Amino acid sequence: MSICGIDEAGRGPLAGPVVAAAVILPARRRPKGLADSKQIDEVMREALFADIMAHGIVGVGISTSAEIDALNIRQATLLAMRRAVAALSVPPTAALVDGNDPPELDCPVEAIIDGDAHVPLIGAASIIAKVTRDRMMVEACARYPGYGFARHKGYGVPEHKAALETLGPCPIHRMSFKPVALAARR
């Protein structure tokens, strides 16, 4: 049986993609410390990321900020999750998804609220999604200087909102999100 865990990162930010990951890990090769990526410090997340990538079957799916604006964040998240599962080299026989809003897949799917904190496979997917997205936002910081993406990863912190006021939105901002839409009108 090849059960995958699925989770996403980046539903709430004002900029950047939403990234989903699907992970299949053999029970005997599951690293210790798998949990909700937001509860693990960056050094540990990076170490777990490398371990999961080395021993697991991993698929990553991305929905861009343009897709988020066109579809809405919910539909873009579900699309990223389907893309992550499609990117697996082995089709899963079942999927465990963090939250209460799972994507439609070609296998049985179980949604588990707080699954990233309680189900190691979902925790592994959470780590892959967050590290992947964080790395993308560090790269975006070099392309779009002045916003501080490397520090806040696109979330609506005061530093980011101040940059939006001064610079206006850049191509990776989510124009359908209210603070960005308001900044675009100025």
The verdict on residue 148 lying in a domain is: no
Number of compact structural domains in the chain: 1
The verdict on residue 17 lying in a domain is: yes
pTM for the model stands at 0.95
> What residues form DSSP beta bridges with 21?
7, 60
How far is it, in rounded angstroms, from Cα 120 to Cα 109? Answer: 16
* Residue with tokens 């925790």, as numbered in its chain: 123
99: CATH: 3.30.420.10
The verdict on residue 29 lying in a domain is: yes
Q: Are 14 and 134 in contact (CB under 8 A)?
A: no
pLDDT, tens digit, 9 for 90 and up, residues 69-116: 999 999 999 999 999 999 999 999 999 999 999 999 999 999 999 999
The verdict on residue 21 lying in a domain is: yes
Give the whole-number percent of the chain exceeding pLDDT 90: 87
CB-based contacts of 109, cutoff 8 Å, min separation 6: 94, 95, 96, 97, 102, 103
* pLDDT confidence tier of residue 32, bands split at 50, 70 and 90: confident
Q: Which domain holds residue 132?
A: 3-138
